[in-house]
């Protein structure tokens, strides 16, 4: 006889000839009291009903980039005007499938990263290594709790969530094969599913690295770290790391620390690896800049060795490094870059091959070895030039002017540049006046993608021209970024939960994502500063967080230096790298749990419904471009958080846009009055692209409005919305009256004026003696309003079936 | 300066070399064609974009359209300079993304309640952003779209040709339209 015990508590008296296999031992004191909700480890259709609720209101919008498909050999197929391909798929559905694939790629990137970290850390520290995020975080892993239905206590426990995520990825990818889904709505539901998975794997990755590497644990007062070209001491060997997985670059710090030689080197990073280097080193590593700085850094000739890991790195990195004589060490198996595998080579052999130039680079997926090789290579290369780095985009001014003078203003570059930057005009102006200022201005917006150089019939090194034109400013750029703090504390949530849900804190603005900004990078600061000053909570991560650390004001200070790092009104909290985005979603979930006592365990739809109706949080990605950003945004959308993207975001092809005029779509069940109530269209979009910073500001304020706002909360939110609209759009917004439920919602200072407008322009009835609205609003304000759009949630709290 | 027949007319070069589709490309049109389209339209509208904040001349021209009775939907913050010059836009707060979503809905009655628009003119947008919206309208609606932009917009039904090398010509073509309405 043999039987298996899974989770639970058992008493065994006397047994013979029994072999017992024990699955998992949980100590009684640690048993998680929370009851299991309806959807632990959901499969791809278990939350479909929730998705359809969202998609019914926030109708998918498709803006095809191509109107053809060539995914299989029956094609290519012309799908224009929503025609169908040989397999029967129409244009909208084909685009929805493409979006689903993009979200799968995004989720797989964070997932691959998480799996890699997790396996490595478990091997190093053991399965039982505890998850301890500090005394102020008791609700650790809110996403995993809500989605997967487990409460991970050790690194080993995270594997359970990881395994579920991997299974779902397989399922969603399967659905994208030819001959599966027929409705774009089902693809959208699957895109949402895999993007929720994305949030889970981001949480796994960041929790694992925080606990294993002792990164800051929910600390608002993390140190500031240096950013920008100007912070790198060029008189030391310079090691530059680029990518997203700190697993490979951390050993460099460890090794140098062990040798007591940390101060003899400069270690600076690009993109999220830079973030995480500063998190593991307590601010001792530096940040060169966001991902758009790759070619700037390489072509400046500053690095003595380059270490690449994974994601968002240029696919011609080796070529770019080779052209500058910078040895490259590629570390991640996701990007071996065609290089020979040097895992088994002795350290000396690797160093020699790289320093002699015998090999332009090696593939070295062994973290500890990277730690030893990188400093040795950097030091040897440094010795060769002795700190006398002559190369500065051009050897001398003459070279620069020779390039400029070659330009014929053919504009081939302009028609391939993602921003259509007017390089021709900059060149012409320089040719005529010897003034580089027009070219220098391009530097502020150029993402150094290199497309223009390939298009130029004169082979002008356009990037170098642009960079050299702004050389002094670029080279001396210095700033400060607050190191990634990791999660939001439970105590912070306790303090802000109520004012967010009631509306007195007008909103949470989460600025995350990549660097494909439509405008000079400083516009990002201008947008966020508006909200910091108005005492919204501003959170940031990834390249947005780095960019903010590089934009200084007249006093030479970045926004970080002017604001506290708390998750509180007027704060600017940097959570960390891409995978730390999970803490932003986690904060929204924790508000539902800690403030409103909603159970998390396997209870996704209820929590998302809570967030949609009550938590005035809006994601903001001013320059999104990666697949990961697509998944992050879509994951936020499923959780009920709207996202505003910059204009390049329209190229994700799909948005979720509600329509104010479809009155039948704006309703909720009110658990208090046991009725179905029409509501104001708030928020009216889940994903929308804006064109300018002015528009971004107004949309962000607008999308913070939630049905559950109290009168005071609505009054505060409307005050900001109306003021910002007047400031940036020149008048009151067109739809403000839709958000007025009673006179108490009106901004105090404008009350009389607004009552008059409601009467004269919208035909509302006003009792002027009492200054009360008698007739007009979509619905009345009710202090006990308890909205939901989920039937099961209604039944759970009302104890009866929802009204028709 | 009107563009005469004998003037050399620049070739229609797509704003982005790689924004290629298999379906129709916009017909590059001269101002008089646009004038005729507007005159024939039952419910035309001009949508202005955020580039008006950087180009006063475009503001001036939009004002003239308005004075000739073409209603304006202002997006991207373009409402501010327009309102300062006496324009009353039909809407100011909705983004082009949202307005396009509304346009795609045959049931939409327009911001003025008179029914959906049949001719939509676009002026003052970031080219890549506008291009996506024009693509949506091309594939999923019957609306006639006209791009009055410096860059040729392939997904519009009608577009100005590429005028990036000659801004004066661009402005004069816009002037020619408003002067002939
Ligand atoms: S997947 Fe369908 S639409 Fe695409 S090429 Fe094949 S048959 Fe054509
Ligand atoms: S490198 Fe800069 S200027 Fe050249 S195409 Fe890319 S963004 Fe445009
Ligand atoms: S492609 Fe080259 S020659 Fe032509 S405008 Fe651009 S920089 Fe000048």
For A425, which residue in chain B has the nearest alpha carbon?
B165
Sort out which chain A residues have CB atoms less than 8 A from B153's CB and list them.
none
pLDDT reading at A176 higher than 50: yes
For residue A73, the ligand closest to its alpha carbon is 1
The preferred substitution site among A393, A424, A442, A448 for testing ligand 2, maximizing ligand atoms within 8 Å of CB, is A448
CATH label of the domain that carries residue A90: 1.20.1270
Scan residues 73-102 of B and list those with Cβ closer than 8 Å to A. Answer: 74-77, 79-84, 91-98, 100-102
A298-353 residue pLDDT tens? 998 899 999 999 999 999 999 999 999 999 999 999 999 999 999 999 999 999 99
Tell me, using a 6 A CB cutoff, whether residue A177 lines ligand 1: no
A178-213 residue pLDDT tens? 999 999 999 999 999 999 999 999 999 999 999 999
A369 and A509 in a single domain? The answer is no
Map out the domains of chain B as residue ranges: 47-179
Residue A15 within any structural domain of the chain: no
Residue A44 within any structural domain of the chain: yes
Record: contact A692-B76, CB cut-off 8 A: yes
- Percent of chain A having pLDDT more than 90? 87
Tell me, using a 6 A CB cutoff, whether residue A791 lines ligand 3: no
Closest-CA residue, ligand 2 atom 5, reads: A417
pLDDT reading at A2 higher than 60: no
CATH-assigned architecture of domain B47-179: 3-Layer(aba) Sandwich (3.40)
A267-276, A367-376, B33-42, B128-137: lowest mean pLDDT where?
A: A267-276
> What is the per-residue pLDDT for A351?
97
Question: What's the Cα-to-Cα distance from A43 to each of A166, A183, A195, A484, A568, rounded to whole Å?
Answer: 12, 19, 13, 33, 36
* Average pLDDT, integer, range A217-231: 91
pLDDT reading at A753 higher than 90: yes
ipTM of the complex: 0.96
Tell me, using a 6 A CB cutoff, whether residue A430 lines ligand 3: no
Residue A6 within any structural domain of the chain: no
Question: What's the Cα-to-Cα distance from A370 to each of A98, A318, A345, rounded to whole Å?
Answer: 37, 17, 12
Quote the distance between the C-alpha of residue B38 and its chain's center.
Answer: 12
CA of A630 from ligand 3 middle (Å) equals: 33
Question: What's the Cα-to-Cα distance from A145 to each of A359, A597, B35, B51, B166, rounded to whole Å?
Answer: 48, 14, 62, 46, 60
Q: How many CB atoms lie within 10 A of CB A73?
A: 8
Residue A124 C-beta-side C-alpha neighbours within 13 Å: 14
Q: Which residues contact A664 (CB under 8 A, 6 or more apart)?
A: none
Residue A29 within any structural domain of the chain: no
* Average pLDDT, integer, range A562-574: 96
CA of A403 from ligand 3 middle (Å) equals: 10
Where do the DSSP E strands lie in A295-451? 305-308, 328-330, 361-363
Domain boundary among A441, A475, A509: A475
> What is the per-residue pLDDT for B48?
98
Structure tokens at A580: 């730390």
Q: What is the DSSP string of A421-470?
A: --HHHHHHHHHHH---HHHHHHHTT-----HHHHH-TT---HHHHHHHHT
Between CA A263 and CA A270, with CA A266 as vertex, the angle to 5 degrees is 145
- Percent of chain A having pLDDT more than 70? 96
> What is the per-residue pLDDT for A578?
92
pLDDT reading at A760 higher than 90: yes
A189 and A42 in a single domain? The answer is yes
Domain boundary among A343, A359, A385: A385
Q: List the single best residue of B63, B78, B94 to mutate versus A (max A Cβ within 10 A).
A: B94
Record: contact A695-B50, CB cut-off 8 A: yes
Sort out which chain B residues have CB atoms less than 8 A from A688's CB and list them.
95, 97-98
A585 and A729 in a single domain? The answer is yes
Record: contact A63-B15, CB cut-off 8 A: no
In terms of Cα–Cα distance, which of A58, A60, A71 is closest to A653? A60
A319 and A442 in a single domain? The answer is no
A563 and A692 in a single domain? The answer is yes
Tell me, using a 6 A CB cutoff, whether residue A86 lines ligand 1: yes
Residue A88 within any structural domain of the chain: yes
A694 and A766 in a single domain? The answer is yes
A413 and A489 in a single domain? The answer is no
Q: Which domain holds residue A320?
A: 229-385
Atom of ligand 1 nearest to the CA of A76: 5
The preferred substitution site among A405, A409, A428 for testing ligand 3, maximizing ligand atoms within 8 Å of CB, is A409
Going residue by residue through chain B (181 aa), what tens digit of pLDDT does each one get? 445 554 578 899 999 999 998 899 999 999 999 999 999 999 999 999 999 999 999 999 999 999 999 999 999 999 999 999 999 999 999 999 999 999 999 999 999 999 999 999 999 999 999 999 999 999 999 999 999 999 999 999 999 999 999 999 999 999 999 999 9
Question: Least CB-CB distance to B95: which of A66, A695, A731?
Answer: A695
A637 and A489 in a single domain? The answer is yes
A370 and A419 in a single domain? The answer is no
Domain boundary among A319, A354, A385: A385
Instruction: Quote the mean pLDDT of chain A.
Output: 93
In terms of Cα–Cα distance, which of A551, A541, A616 is closest to A573? A541
A370 and A483 in a single domain? The answer is no
Residue A796 within any structural domain of the chain: no
Q: How far is A707 from chain B (nearest CA, A)?
A: 20
pLDDT reading at A548 higher than 90: yes
Q: How far is A211 from chain B (nearest CA, A)?
A: 42
Chain A contact present for B135, CB below 8 A:
yes
Question: Least CB-CB distance to A63: which of B95, B109, B135?
Answer: B135
Sort out which chain B residues have CB atoms less than 8 A from A694's CB and list them.
50, 53, 76-77, 80
> What is the per-residue pLDDT for A30?
55
Q: What is the DSSP string of A59-114?
A: EEEE--S-SEE-SSTT--EE-GGG-B-TTS-BHHHHHHHHHHHHHHHHHHHHHHHH
pLDDT band at A689 (very low <50, low <70, confident <90, very high): very high
* Average pLDDT, integer, range A478-486: 95
pLDDT reading at A674 higher than 50: yes
Distance in angstroms (rounded) separating the CA atoms of residues B108 and B104 = 8
Tell me, using a 6 A CB cutoff, whether residue A224 lines ligand 1: no
Q: Which residues contact A359 (CB under 8 A, 6 or more apart)?
A: A327, A339, A340, A353
Tell me, using a 6 A CB cutoff, whether residue A454 lines ligand 3: no
A402-442 residue pLDDT tens? 999 999 999 999 999 999 999 999 999 999 999 999 999 99
Question: What's the Cα-to-Cα distance from A61 to each of A96, A624, A658, A688, A740, rounded to whole Å?
Answer: 10, 18, 10, 10, 28
Q: What is the DSSP string of A543-586?
A: HHHHHHTT---TTS--HHHHS--SSSTT-EEEEESGGGGHHHHH
CA of A70 from ligand 1 middle (Å) equals: 6
Residues with CB under 6 A from ligand 2: A 417-419, 421, 423, 446-452, 462-463
Record: contact B75-A518, CB cut-off 8 A: no
A461 and A497 in a single domain? The answer is no
Sort out which chain A residues have CB atoms less than 8 A from B122's CB and list them.
none
- Chain A and chain B share a number of CB contacts under 8 A equal to 160
Sort out which chain B residues have CB atoms less than 8 A from A68's CB and list them.
21-22
A683 and A593 in a single domain? The answer is yes
Tell me, using a 6 A CB cutoff, whether residue A80 lines ligand 1: no
Residue A754 within any structural domain of the chain: yes
pLDDT reading at A29 higher than 70: no
Residue A487 within any structural domain of the chain: yes
The preferred substitution site among A458, A461, A464 for testing ligand 3, maximizing ligand atoms within 8 Å of CB, is A458
Q: How far is A392 from chain B (nearest CA, A)?
A: 31
Record: contact A694-B17, CB cut-off 8 A: no
Q: How many CB atoms lie within 10 A of CB B27?
A: 13
Q: List the single best residue of B17, B51, B74, B77 to mutate versus A (max A Cβ within 10 A).
A: B77
Tell me, using a 6 A CB cutoff, whether residue A405 lines ligand 3: no
Distance in angstroms (rounded) separating the CA atoms of residues A700 and A509 = 7
Q: Give the total number of structural domains in chain A.
A: 4
pLDDT band at A9 (very low <50, low <70, confident <90, very high): low
Q: List the single best residue of A647, A658, A681, A762 to mutate versus B (max B Cβ within 10 A).
A: A647
Distance in angstroms (rounded) separating the CA atoms of residues A249 and A254 = 9
> What is the per-residue pLDDT for A505?
92
Atom of ligand 3 nearest to the CA of A410: 4
Residue recorded with tokens 């680079």: A361
pLDDT band at A22 (very low <50, low <70, confident <90, very high): low
């Amino acid at each position: 006889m043999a039987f298996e015990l899974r989770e639970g508590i058992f008493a065994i008296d006397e047994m013979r000839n029994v072999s017992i296999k024990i699955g998992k031992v949980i100590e009684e004191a640690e048993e998680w009291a929370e009851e299991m909700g309806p959807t632990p480890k959901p499969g791809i259709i278990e939350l479909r009903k929730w998705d359809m609720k969202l998609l019914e209101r926030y109708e998918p919008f498709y803006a095809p980039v191509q109107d053809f498909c060539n995914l299989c050999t029956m094609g290519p197929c012309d799908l224009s005007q929503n025609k169908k391909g040989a397999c029967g798929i129409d244009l909208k559905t084909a685009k929805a499938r493409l979006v689903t694939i993009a979200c799968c790629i995004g989720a797989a990137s964070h997932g691959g990263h998480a799996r890699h970290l997790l396996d490595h850390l478990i091997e190093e520290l053991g399965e039982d290594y505890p998850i301890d995020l500090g005394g102020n975080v008791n609700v650790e892993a809110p996403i995993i709790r809500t989605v997967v239905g487990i409460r991970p206590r050790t690194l080993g426990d995270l594997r359970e969530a990881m395994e579920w995520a991997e299974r779902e990825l397989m399922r969603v990818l399967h659905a994208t094969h030819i001959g599966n889904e027929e409705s774009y709505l089902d693809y959208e539901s699957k895109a949402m599913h895999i993007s929720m998975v994305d949030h889970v794997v981001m949480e796994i990755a960041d929790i694992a690295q925080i606990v294993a590497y002792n990164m800051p644990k929910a600390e608002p007062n993390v140190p500031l770290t240096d950013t920008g070209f100007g912070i790198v001491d060029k008189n030391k060997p310079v090691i530059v790391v680029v990518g997203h997985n700190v697993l490979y670059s951390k050993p460099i710090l460890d090794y140098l620390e062990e040798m007591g030689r940390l101060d003899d080197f400069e270690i600076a990073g690009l993109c999220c690896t830079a973030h995480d280097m500063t998190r593991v080193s307590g601010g001792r590593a530096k940040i060169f800049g966001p991902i758009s700085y790759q070619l700037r850094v390489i072509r400046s000739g500053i690095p003595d060795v380059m270490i690449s890991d994974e994601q968002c790195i240029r696919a011609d990195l080796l070529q770019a490094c080779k052209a500058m004589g910078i040895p490259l060490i590629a570390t991640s198996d996701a990007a071996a870059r065609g290089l020979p595998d040097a895992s088994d080579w002795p350290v000396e052999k690797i160093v020699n091959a790289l320093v002699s130039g015998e090999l332009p680079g090696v593939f070295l997926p062994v973290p500890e070895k990277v730690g030893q090789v990188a400093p040795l290579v950097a030091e040897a290369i440094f010795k060769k030039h002795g700190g006398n780095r002559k190369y500065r985009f051009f050897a001398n001014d003459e070279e620069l002017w020779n390039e400029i003078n070659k330009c014929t203003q053919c504009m081939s570059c302009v028609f391939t540049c993602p921003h259509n930057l007017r390089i021709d005009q900059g060149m012409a102006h320089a040719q005529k006046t010897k003034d580089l200022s027009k070219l220098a201005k391009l530097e502020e917006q150029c993402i150094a993608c290199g497309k223009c150089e390939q298009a130029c019939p004169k082979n002008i090194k356009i990037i170098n021209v642009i960079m050299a034109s702004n050389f002094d400013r670029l080279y001396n750029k210095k700033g400060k970024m607050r190191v990634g703090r990791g999660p939001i504390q439970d105590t912070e949530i306790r303090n802000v939960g109520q004012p967010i849900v009631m509306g007195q804190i007008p909103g949470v603005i989460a600025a995350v994502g990549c660097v494909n900004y439509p405008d000079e990078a400083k516009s990002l600061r201008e947008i966020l500063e508006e909200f910091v000053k108005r005492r919204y909570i501003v959170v940031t991560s990834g390249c947005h967080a780095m960019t903010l650390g590089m934009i200084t004001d007249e006093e030479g200070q970045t926004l970080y230096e002017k604001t506290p790092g708390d998750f509180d009104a007027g704060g600017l909290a940097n959570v960390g790298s891409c995978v730390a985005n999970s803490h932003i979603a986690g904060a929204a979930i924790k508000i539902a749990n800690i403030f409103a006592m909603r159970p998390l365990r396997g209870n996704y739809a209820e929590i998302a419904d809570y967030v949609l109706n009550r938590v005035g949080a809006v994601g903001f990605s001013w320059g999104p471009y990666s697949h990961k950003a697509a998944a992050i945004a879509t994951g936020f959308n499923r959780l009920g958080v709207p996202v505003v993207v910059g204009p390049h975001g329209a190229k994700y092809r799909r948005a979720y846009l509600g329509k104010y005029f479809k009155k039948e779509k704006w309703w909720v069940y009110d658990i208090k009055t046991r009725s179905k109530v029409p509501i104001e269209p708030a928020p009216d979009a889940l994903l929308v692209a804006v064109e300018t910073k002015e528009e971004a500001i107004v949309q962000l304020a607008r999308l913070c409005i939630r049905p559950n706002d109290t009168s005071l909360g609505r009054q505060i939110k409307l005050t900001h919305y109306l003021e910002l609209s007047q400031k940036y759009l020149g008048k009151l917004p067109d739809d403000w009256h839709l958000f007025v439920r009673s006179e108490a919602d009106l901004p105090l200072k404008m009350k009389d004026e607004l009552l008059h407008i409601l009467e004269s322009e919208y035909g509302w009835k006003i009792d002027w003696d009492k200054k009360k609205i008698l007739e007009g609003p979509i619905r009345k304000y009710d202090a006990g309003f308890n909205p939901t759009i989920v039937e099961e949630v209604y039944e759970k709290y009302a104890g009866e079936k929802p009204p028709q | 300066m009107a563009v005469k027949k004998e003037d050399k007319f620049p070739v229609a070069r797509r704003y982005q070399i790689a924004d290629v589709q298999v379906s129709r490309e916009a017909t590059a049109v001269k101002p008089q064609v646009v004038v005729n389209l507007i005159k024939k339209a039952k419910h035309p509208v001009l949508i202005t974009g955020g580039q008006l904040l950087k180009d006063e001349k475009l503001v001036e021209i939009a004002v003239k359209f308005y004075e000739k009775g073409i209603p304006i939907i202002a997006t991207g913050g373009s409402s501010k300079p327009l309102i300062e010059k006496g324009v009353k836009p039909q809407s100011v707060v909705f983004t082009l993304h949202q307005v396009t979503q509304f346009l795609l809905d045959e049931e939409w009655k327009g911001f003025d309640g008179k029914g959906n628009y049949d001719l939509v003119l676009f002026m003052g947008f970031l080219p890549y952003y506008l291009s996506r919206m024009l693509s949506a309208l091309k594939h999923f609606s019957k609306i006639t779209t006209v791009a009055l932009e410096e860059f040729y917009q392939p997904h519009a039904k009608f577009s100005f040709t590429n005028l990036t090398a000659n801004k004066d010509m661009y402005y004069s073509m816009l002037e020619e339209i408003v002067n002939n309405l």
